[in-house]
Structures are given as structure tokens and as C-alpha cells.
């Protein structure tokens, strides 16, 4: 556990990787890849935020297989052709002093959907939709009514293999931080929650059975992701729904993931059912990060409606989380880290790029 005298601009070392500060760019879908391949958009989008001083820049949910995409525009690491364009981006990100990260994902029953600006709903087969997979044949509902196929043990083994292969490609693509996406109602989260997992085999029913798919997948990923590099897991700490997954189970899961040599839990919530009652507000998920950090003794990232530099700094100073991830705020203001350094009197800790220094 890093020392408690940390603040937003204190470095953070996990395994052999040091982040220059506690500010991370949260993985945010751009839906702008071409058959999974990154474009100039991604270079500019991620590169600009690295240049502006983020400690880590975590690339969007990146699918481990074509059917694991949320939309046809999702990023991918299911093929070797995906590597070179990402390597170019990651060399730039690293050259700007940020740690390049990626979130590996499988969208499960929420896959095969339109890009948000094209309607967000499940795609009809005629519009390029594809069959979806999940622990049980239960649809998410709402805009995502497709009933998924309940996965066989062979499907489970194949998808775990896809996560392993994507991890190996991520290493080749120059990433130094890997996050497994087990949140927001996607495949791995769907196995965790009793609201989406009605299996009667060893992957369903008890807590131990419902976490099995994530634990097995994380173990397989850890085995090929170098020990010297940080591995994180994003979870939804609560489904915010009766009978669903909750923070108590999340603390127990975090302890199990720590035992698998996971270095950090990225604490989000929701996404499992359309009727979740989420008390959204500034830092509404920070209490989850704080509880897991103290009760499971593992580093955590806080995310969710964090916009003010003083709020982000307070989260770190009070030991509520080790890292603060900004999502939409980073879309509004790529220069947030530089502005935060000024606001917090930390301009000695973070300089603008030399090309921009005369402007700050």
C-alpha cells in the first residue's frame, strides 16, 4: 500500500511502473475503430491527454473477439493486425511521460449494439448485428432486448483463451498497464450477478461459483502479463438493484483478486440492469474505492463524476483511493492535469510540453 502522505501530484509506483501523478484518463469508448483497428483519431485523442500531463492514459474497452464488441466501431486486440497502429500511439503516449494502459473487454449480452450517435440499441441482423453470449439466456432489456446464448463450457474456455491472446497482443502493442473489464453489465460482470447468472453448473449459484469465470480469466491473464507490469480489474461494486451484486461481495471479490496478484481494483458501479437506481452525484462511487482499499488491502482507483481538482486531491490525501480516473471531464478538458496543477499550486510537479510552456 503506497504511503498515506500522497496527494494528487505524488508519483505512484506499482510493480515496476511509476505514474508521475494520480490522475488517470478513464477508458472511454470512441466507437471509431475500423474492424477493431485504431485510427488517427485515437492517436490525437489519447496523445493530447498524455501531452497534457495525465499519469496514465487507459485506452477504451478493447474487444478480445469480434463478438465481444459493444458496437461495430469498437477497438480490438483480437488480431495481430491491431498491434502496429496501437504501438505507434503507445510510443507517443509513453514519450509524453504517461503510462499507456488498455482495458480488455467482452460486452456479453450488451454486444452487437449501435454507436451512441447511431441510436445505442441492439443492431438487427440485417444491420450488421451478431449473436450475443452470456452466462444465461437472459436479455438486458430496454434498448438491448436480444436474448443471448447461454455459454457452454467450451464457450467459456474459448473466451478465456481470447482474453489471454489479447493480453499477449497488448504487451506487443506497448501497453504497460492492463485492466480487465468486469463491470457495467458486460460479460464478466454478468457472471458475477445473480440477476444475470442463473446457471446451475460450477459457474453459477454460490458466490464462489459466480466469481469463478472472472477468477479463472484473471489468473490466465496474469500468467501471461509480465509480473513487473500492473494488472487491474474494473468492477461494478454494486448493481444498485435488489438481489443484485453489492459492495459486500465486491470486498470479498477484491480479496480473492489480490490473492491472484491483481494490483488494483477500479471501482465503478451499475450497468447490469436497466432499472438500477443509481444515486449519481460528485464522487458517488468513491465510498466503494475507500471500503475496498481498506477492507481488502488493495490499491483502488476512484471514478465517477469527479471534476474539481480539490475533490480529486482530497480523495488521494484522505486515502480513499490511490488513483483518480476522469472520464467525461477529460473529454471536456484535455488540459485538466495542467489546470489542476495550477489550481493546487503544483506547477513544479507538472510542466506543460515545451512547445506550450510560453502559454502557461
Closer residue to ligand 531 (CB): 10 or 57: 57
Residue 345: CB partners within 8 Å, gap ≥ 6? none
Distance in Å, CB of 75 to ligand 531, minimum: 10
Assess contact for 96 and 51: CB atoms under 8 A.
Answer: yes
Cell numbers given for 256: 480473492
**Residue 302: strand pairing partners:** 267, 324
**Closest approach of ligand 531 to the CB of residue 359, in Å:** 33
Please state the closest distance from residue 134 (CB atom) to ligand 531, in A. Answer: 16
Dihedral-angle region of residue 113 (phi above 0 means left; psi in -120 to 50 means alpha; beta otherwise): beta
Angstrom distance (rounded) from CA 27 to CA 306: 15
Q: SS3 of 332, please?
A: helix
In whole angstroms, the minimum distance from the beta carbon of 306 to ligand 531 comes to: 14
Based on CB atoms, which residue is closest to ligand 531, 123 or 350? Answer: 123
Nearer to ligand 531, 51 or 272 (CB): 272
Smallest separation (angstroms) from ligand 531 to the CB of 113: 10
Which residues of the chain form contacts with ligand 531 (CB under 6 A)? 29, 61, 184, 268, 270-271
> Which residue of this chain has its Cβ atom nearest to ligand 531 in the complex?
271
Residues in Cβ contact with 277 at an 8 Å cutoff, skipping those fewer than 6 apart = 240, 241
Catalytic site residues? 186
d(CA 186, CA 190): 6
Number of helices (H), then strands (E), belonging to the chain: the values are 10, 13
- Residue number, 146 or 184, with CB nearest to ligand 531: 184
* C-alpha torsion sign, points 305, 311, 313, 318: negative
CA–CA gap between residue 188 and residue 193 (Å, rounded): 9
Nearer Cβ to ligand 531, position 14 or 104?
104
| CA 145/CA 125 separation, integer angstroms | 13
Q: What is the DSSP letter of 42?
A: H
Nearer to ligand 531, 61 or 292 (CB): 61
- Ramachandran quadrant class, 305 (left: phi over 0; alpha: psi -120 to 50; beta: rest): left
Amino acid at each position: 500500500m503506497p504511503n498515506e502522505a500522497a496527494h494528487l501530484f505524488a508519483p505512484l509506483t506499482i510493480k515496476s511502473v511509476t505514474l508521475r501523478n494520480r490522475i488517470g484518463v478513464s477508458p472511454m469508448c470512441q466507437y471509431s475503430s475500423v474492424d477493431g483497428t485504431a485510427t488517427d483519431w485515437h492517436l490525437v485523442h489519447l496523445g493530447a491527454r498524455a501531452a497534457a500531463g495525465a499519469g496514465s492514459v487507459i485506452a477504451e474497452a478493447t474487444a478480445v473477439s469480434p463478438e465481444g464488441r459493444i458496437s461495430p466501431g469498437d477497438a480490438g486486440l483480437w488480431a495481430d493486425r491491431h498491434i502496429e497502429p496501437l504501438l505507434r500511439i503507445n510510443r507517443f503516449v509513453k514519450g509524453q511521460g504517461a503510462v499507456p494502459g488498455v482495458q480488455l473487454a467482452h460486452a456479453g449480452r450488451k454486444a452487437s449494439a449501435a454507436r451512441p450517435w447511431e441510436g445505442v440499441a441492439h443492431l438487427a441482423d440485417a444491420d450488421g448485428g451478431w449473436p450475443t453470449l452470456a452466462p444465461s439466456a437472459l436479455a438486458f432489456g430496454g434498448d438491448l432486448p436480444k436474448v443471448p446464448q447461454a455459454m457452454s463450457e467450451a464457450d467459456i474456455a474459448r473466451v478465456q483463451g481470447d482474453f489471454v491472446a489479447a493480453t499477449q497482443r497488448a504487451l506487443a502493442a506497448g501497453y504497460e498497464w492492463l485492466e480487465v473489464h468486469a463491470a457495467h453489465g458486460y460479460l464478466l460482470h454478468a457472471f458475477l450477478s445473480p440477476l444475470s447468472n442463473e446457471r446451475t453448473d460450477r459457474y453459477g449459484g454460490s458466490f464462489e461459483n459466480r466469481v469463478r469465470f472472472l477468477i479463472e480469466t484473471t489468473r490466465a491473464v496474469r500468467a501471461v502479463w509480465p509480473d513487473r507490469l500492473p494488472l487491474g480489474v474494473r468492477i461494478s461494486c454494486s448493481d444498485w438493484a435488489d438481489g443484485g451484486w453489492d459492495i459486500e461481495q465486491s470486498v470479498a471479490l477484491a480479496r480473492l483478486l489480490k490473492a491472484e496478484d491483481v494490483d488494483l481494483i477500479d471501482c465503478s458501479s451499475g450497468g447490469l440492469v436497466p432499472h438500477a437506481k443509481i444515486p449519481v452525484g460528485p464522487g458517488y462511487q468513491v465510498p466503494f474505492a475507500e471500503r475496498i482499499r481498506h477492507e481488502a488491502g488493495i490499491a483502488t482507483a476512484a471514478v465517477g463524476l469527479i471534476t474539481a481538482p480539490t475533490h480529486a486531491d482530497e480523495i488521494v490525501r484522505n486515502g480513499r483511493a490511490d488513483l483518480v480516473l476522469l472520464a467525461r471531464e477529460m473529454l471536456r478538458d484535455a488540459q485538466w492535469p495542467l489546470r489542476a496543477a495550477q489550481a493546487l499550486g503544483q506547477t513544479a510537479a507538472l510542466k506543460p510540453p515545451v512547445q506550450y510552456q510560453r502559454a502557461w
